[in-house]
């Protein structure tokens, strides 16, 4: 199924960004339409993306990108949704209201990259201590505390 011309409620259009090596289609969605598009993809009989497999973020230097990996058990299809966020204010609505499995994935992305998921039920650090300074997967992260260096043997 090709989603390049997917129109949600006659007014929201998404952008095809290509596909992965295994044929999984990738579509770009603006942050303000993410929840509407996700609800449509989950509930529409022609798409039925009923499972969110993962959420992760990437620091692309100029912007942040959040990727949502969806799966349709009805059609045995994968889909990647990508949302680009500005460096100055990396915020996007949480998908935990649509896909409960997004909860911990969004917390991990927040913890390591500092991307805020608005209206998340429990957006706090999940891996690092609460007093940790910064977000270690950001390209501009500086670790100036020698105590945080691990030497494995």
The dihedral region occupied by 94, where left means phi > 0, alpha psi between -120 and 50, and beta the remainder, is: beta
pLDDT along the chain (153 residues), means of 10: 56 80 93 93 92 97 97 96 94 97 98 97 93 90 70 59
User: Which residues span the domain enclosing 117?
Assistant: 7-148
71 assigned to some structural domain: yes
- Note whether residue 153 is domain-resident: no
Asked if the structure places residue 1 within a domain, the reply is: no
Question: 46 lies in a domain?
Answer: yes
Q: Decide if 29 is inside a domain.
A: yes
If one counts the domains in the chain, the total is 1
In-domain check, residue 55: yes
pLDDT at 144: 73
pLDDT of residue 142: 86
């Amino acid at each position: 199924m090709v989603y390049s011309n997917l129109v949600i409620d006659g007014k929201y259009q998404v952008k095809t960004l290509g596909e992965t090596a295994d044929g999984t289609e990738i579509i770009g969605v603006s942050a303000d339409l993410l929840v509407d598009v996700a609800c449509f993809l989950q509930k529409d009989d022609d798409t039925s993306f009923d499972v969110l497999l993962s959420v992760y973020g990437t620091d692309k230097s100029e912007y942040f990108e959040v990727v949502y990996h969806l799966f349709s058990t009805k059609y045995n299809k994968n889909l990647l949704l990508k949302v680009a966020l500005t460096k100055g204010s990396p915020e996007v609505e949480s998908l935990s209201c649509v896909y409960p499995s997004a909860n911990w994935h969004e917390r991990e992305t927040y913890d390591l990259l500092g991307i805020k998921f608005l209206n998340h039920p429990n957006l706090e650090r999940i891996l690092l201590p609460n007093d940790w300074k910064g977000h270690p997967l950001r390209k501009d992260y500086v670790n100036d505390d020698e105590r945080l260096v691990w030497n494995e043997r």
